[in-house]
Structure 1
Amino acid sequence: MEVRWDSGFNVVTRCTVPGTAALTFDDGPFQYTNEVVAMLKAANAIGTFFYNGKNFGCIYDKDSVDRAWLVYNSGHQIASHTWSHADLTTLSQDQINDEMYKVENALTKILGISPAFIRPPYGKYNDLVLQVASSRQQTVVTWDFDSQDSAGASADAGKNLYSQLIEKHPDTILTLNHETSDGSVRQVLPFAIQKLQAAGYRLVSVAECVGKPAYINVGPPQARDGSWTC
C-alpha cells in the first residue's frame, strides 16, 4: 500500500507485490557490509541499503567506496538515508535539500547512480520533507516491521520479533534493520532469511516490491578527485 497524503505526495509504507519481503539495511556503508552481502548471496536474496554520507563514517573513504561497489555489483538496491542522519522535520527547506543532495551527489560520483528512494532518518517526515523529496523525484520509504536493533534489542529479541511477524503471515513485509549492529547482522539476519524463505516470501528490493525503478538515472561513475571529502 502507498499512502497518499492530502499534500499529494506518496509515502511507501509497505510492499505492494504479493508474496514479497524487502530486507532493508540503514546507516551504512559499514564494516559488516561484506557479511550481509555474503548472506544474501548464499540465499539468492536481494536487499536494499539506505546509505548516509557522514554518519558512522565518511562515504568517500576507500573502505566505504569498496563496500558500496560490492553492494551495487551484487545486484542490491542502494537508496538515500540523507547525508548526516539528521531529523529532517527540524530543518529548513534549504537544509533538507542539502541533506538529500549531498548523499545523492556522493552516490552519483562513486557509483554513477541517482537513487529514486529515500528513507528519512528515524522514519520522521512532514509535508516539507515530502515536498523536497518530490522535487528531487524521490519516493519516501518507511517500513511496516522494525527489528528494533537500533533501539538496542538483543539478537534473541530480534529473532522473536521476526517469528511473531511470520506467524501472522502478512501478504508482504517491508523490514527495518541496521547493518551497523553485529547482533542483527550475524544472528538475526540469517535467522530472518531462513524463516522468511521457508514461509514462502521472495526476498527482493524495495523497488521490486513496489514495482518502481530503483534509480532516477544510471550513468558512469566519476574518478576520485579532491571533492571526495566529508
Structure 2
Amino acid sequence: MTNESGLRVWRIICAAFLCASLVHLSISRSKSPDLFPHYQNPRHLVARKCQVPGLAALTFDDFPNERIDELLELLGSWNATATFFVNGPYDPRDSVLQEELLGPRLKKIHRLGHQIASHTYDHINLNTADQHAFSATMARFDTWLGGLLGGGIAGPRYMRAPVVGWGFDTEDWKHHTAQTVHRAVRRVHDHAAQLQARQIVDLTADIVLMHGFHNTTVTTVAPAVLEALGAVGYRFVSVAECLGHPAENWYRRREHGA
C-alpha cells in the first residue's frame, strides 16, 4: 500500500485480525472465510490458503541462513518455487555483516525465480506499532529491496506481518534442535494426512510457514514438507501463483508510477 488511505484501511484490518495479514496476502488462523470480504479490491486481498486446486505454497520467514544454497538446490530438485518473506539488515549490532550476507543471498533467490516479499524492515510487532512506525518500516523495506534487486522494482506487492499469521505452521521455530525437530516433522506428516483425507472434496492446500534461518528447517523440515505434500499430489508454487495471481504482479515497478 502506498497511499495514506490504504495504510489506514490496512491498519484497521490489522488491529481487527491481530495483525494476521499481508498487504496483498494474509495467512490467518481464524475460522473466517479464506478470502475476507474487507478487501473488495484484489490488490488488497487477504487470504490464508491457496485458491488454485492442486497447488501448495512454501514460505520462509526472516533471514535465509548460510545454507541457502542447499535449500535452493532442494527446491530446484522438486521444481518448486517458494516465497521468502524477509526483513532488512536491521540489527544495529551487525547490520553491515547482515547487509553483506543478505544481499547476495536474496539476489540469488530472485535470480532463480523465487518470490521475495516483505516481512517489514525491522520485524516490529505491528500489533503495537503506531501509524508512523508502520509506515516507516514498510517504506524502508521497499526502498532497500528495490535498491538491492534493481530492474525498476519499487517494492513487493506482498507482505506478511511479523509475530502472527500463517495457514499451516510447521513449528520449525519451536522444534529446531536435533533433539526436537522430529516433532515438526510429525506435524508435517499429520497435516499431509489431513490433506489426503479431504482431497476428494477440497484440492486446495494451506500456505506453509517455515523459517529460513534454522539449519534443521533446511536439512529436515523442508524436505519433509516437500515429500509429504508431494506424495499427496501437490505442486509447489509461489504464494502469488497459488492464489491465481500472475508473476508480473509480484512487485511494484517504478516505470509504472507505483
1:87 aligns with 2:113: no
- Counterpart for residue 71 of structure 1: 109
- Counterpart for residue 15 of structure 2: none
1:184 aligns with 2:217: yes
**Deviation at residue 44 of structure 1 after TM alignment:** 0.8
Structure 1, residues 59-114: CA drift from partner, whole Å, max 9, x if none? 87222111011100111000000011110121111110111111111110000232
When the two structures are superposed, what TM-score results if normalisation uses the length of structure 2?
0.72
**Deviation at residue 6 of structure 1 after TM alignment:** 8.4
- Counterpart for residue 62 of structure 2: 27
Structure 1, residues 117-169: CA drift from partner, whole Å, max 9, x if none? 0000012xxxxxxxxxxxxxxxxxx4210011223453211111111111011
Q: Gaps (5+ residues) in structure 2?
A: 1-33, 199-203
2:187 to 146, 161, 171: 161
Change (3 A) 1:190 1:72: same
**Counterpart Cα distance in 1 of 2:168 and 2:45:** 19
**Counterpart Cα distance in 2 of 1:30 and 1:52:** 12
- Counterpart for residue 45 of structure 1: 80
Amino acid at match of 1:179: G
Change (3 A) 1:34 1:58: farther
Change (3 A) 1:198 1:106: same
Q: Gaps (5+ residues) in structure 1?
A: 124-141, 220-230
> Does the aligned pair in 1 maintain the 2:168–2:206 contact within 8 Å?
yes
Change (3 A) 1:6 1:70: closer
- Counterpart for residue 115 of structure 1: 156
Q: SS where residue 30 of structure 1 aligns?
A: coil
Q: SS where residue 75 of structure 1 aligns?
A: coil
Q: SS where residue 90 of structure 1 aligns?
A: coil
Change (3 A) 1:98 1:197: same
1:11 aligns with 2:46: yes
**Counterpart Cα distance in 2 of 1:48 and 1:179:** 11
Identity %: 32
**Counterpart Cα distance in 2 of 1:218 and 1:64:** 23
**Deviation at residue 7 of structure 1 after TM alignment:** 10
Amino acid at match of 2:161: P
- Number of equivalences: 201
151-160 or 82-91: which moved more? 151-160
> Does the aligned pair in 1 maintain the 2:175–2:184 contact within 8 Å?
no
Please state which structure has a larger fraction of its residues in strand.
Answer: 1
Q: SS where residue 118 of structure 1 aligns?
A: coil
Amino acid at match of 2:170: S
**Counterpart Cα distance in 2 of 1:63 and 1:6:** 37
103-112 or 153-162: which moved more? 153-162
> Does the aligned pair in 1 maintain the 2:170–2:208 contact within 8 Å?
yes
- Say which one has the larger Rg: 2
Change (3 A) 1:62 1:54: closer
When the two structures are superposed, what TM-score results if normalisation uses the length of structure 1?
0.80
**Counterpart Cα distance in 1 of 2:89 and 2:211:** 15
**Counterpart Cα distance in 2 of 1:190 and 1:105:** 33
Change (3 A) 1:167 1:103: same
- Counterpart for residue 217 of structure 1: 253
**Counterpart Cα distance in 1 of 2:187 and 2:90:** 27
Amino acid at match of 2:133: Q
- Counterpart for residue 194 of structure 1: 227
Amino acid at match of 2:59: T
Q: SS where residue 36 of structure 2 aligns?
A: strand
